[in-house]
Amino acid sequence: MLIVQVWLLQQKTQRALEKLRSTLAAEDRIILNMFYKDGFKVAQIARALHLDQKSLYRRIDKILRNLRNGFEDEGIRAEDVRELFRQNPGITRATFDGEPQTHPASRKNSKGPGSP
């Protein structure tokens, strides 16, 4: 990908993310932030929010499927986003409250929140 193409894809992806983020229920944004931004495990999120763990797994899958479909509706393919991250490993992943972060699992020796 050329630099201009990468930049355009970044801009298009950011606009789509902002649009899709606004369609999520507040609790869904909290769940995704806890999972991706804060690095909590599903069991920890379920306990903290008093949700059934099995239902929460299904809920996260549904949220992600809807986001994927929303990106596709905006003309953004999963392959394009993977290429964007491959070409630019320094790009941080946007979270659902608008703050850029990298996924905790991508950090070396990360054991999650509260780990020594």
Domains of the chain, start order? 3-97 (1.10.10.10)
- For residue 98, pLDDT over 60 is answered with no
- For residue 4, pLDDT over 80 is answered with yes
pTM of the complete model: 0.68
Residue 89's pLDDT band (cuts 50, 70, 90)? low
- Report the pLDDT averaged over residues 60-64: 94
Contact between residue 101 and residue 95 where contact means Cβ atoms under 8 Å apart: yes
Classified as helix, coil or strand, 92 is coil
Residue 17's pLDDT band (cuts 50, 70, 90)? confident
Contact between residue 103 and residue 112 where contact means Cβ atoms under 8 Å apart: no
Residue 56's pLDDT band (cuts 50, 70, 90)? very high
Report the alpha-carbon angle 34-22-99, nearest 5.
45
